[in-house]
Structure 1
Amino acid sequence: MTVKTVERQDVVDFLYTEAKILDEWRLKEWAALFTDDGTYIVPPIGNPEAEPTTSLYYIHDNRTRLQDRAERLLKKEAHVEYPHSTTTRNYHNILVGDLDADVITVECNFTTHRTKREVVDTFIGKLKYELVIENDRLAIKHKKVVLNLDSLRPQGKISLIL
């Protein structure tokens, strides 16, 4: 069996592809980027290291729940996102570590602009990934979104995938 060597540019391209998939609302395809034991979390603002057993996370999904979230957001019954927001995601200051390890760590800053009903909301923060090679491709084992906001105002909620 040949193991593909992962280069930094492969990781950067993977992140940019994820952003494009999310901006195009291809959410089922986004969920498929995760491993079967993958997780997607958004801890409380101001407490990124909070324990999920004692703190209320905005999102704390395992693979099944994130698949359900993706499918639910695509339905017309998801009134908060129907019609879908228009989003533009930017990932910057991408730092890739442990390219030779079983788990590749990635940190980057992000800006997500969302336009909905003539209102533009901006989410900013840091993304932290653990990536693995699965079936000869990169896959997300863990994605953590740390919001660098004082509050969710004026948007008041997270109704899209960051």
Structure 2
Amino acid sequence: MTTAAHHRLDEAALCRFVADEAALLDERRFDDWLDLFADDGRYWVPLLGRMQADPYSHNSIAYEDKLLLRLRIERLKDPRAHSQHPTSHCQHVLQAASLEHSDAHVGTAVLRTPFLYIESRGEQQLMLAGSYQHTLVRTADGLRIRQKRVNLLGAERALPAVQLFI
């Protein structure tokens, strides 16, 4: 294998990674989902959607590192969690992911994926739309999420509580 081939990021594999990540959430496999994040990984839902340049200059709906994500997962799994009686379930409907940028030498790629997110709990159902921006990094353990940015359509409006991960 040549050095160039070794460093190349396969676009089809990157797109499969994004689809597989959403499937883990739909299957409530939260621990497996969390394992997809790099040690310095972040989950970010900006309040201003695509217009928000960073999580520091304006409030965000969520900006969580792996520790905070782990705490959310533990809360979801706790049988005493009132918000999970009845249990919440979700379905991610993804359009095809598109590769926005990749750097084979550094081993990073940025993908954009339009989505619909449906969350159901009891007789209540919530539907949100937007686009994901996954920043992926190649590690010794395979691809990992350095950042998952969730750009919600109309994020600045009053939103009901989302129990799971968009």
| TM-score, with structure 2 as normaliser | 0.84
The answer as to whether partners of 1:45 and 1:148 remain within 8 angstroms in 2 is no
Q: How does 1:1-162 map to 2 (within 5 A)?
A: 3=6, 5-45=8-48, 48-49=51-52, 51-96=54-99, 97-98=101-102, 100-102=104-106, 103-149=108-154, 151-153=157-159, 156-162=160-166
| TM-score, with structure 1 as normaliser | 0.86
Structure 1 ranges of 4+ moved more than 6 A: none
What are structure 1's unaligned runs of at least 5 residues? none
Distance 1:115 1:45 in 2: 25
Q: Which has the higher helix share?
A: 2
Shift of residue 83 of structure 1? 3.4
Shift of residue 136 of structure 1? 4.3
The total of aligned residue pairs comes to 160
Amino acid at match of 1:61: E
Bigger CA drift: 81-90 or 138-147? 81-90
Identity within the alignment, %: 26
Amino acid at match of 2:149: K
Report Cα offsets for 1:124-156 as digits up to 9, x if no partner. Answer: 111111101112411100111111036344xx1
RMSD: 2.3
Bigger CA drift: 43-52 or 17-26? 43-52
What are structure 2's unaligned runs of at least 5 residues? none
Amino acid at match of 1:98: S
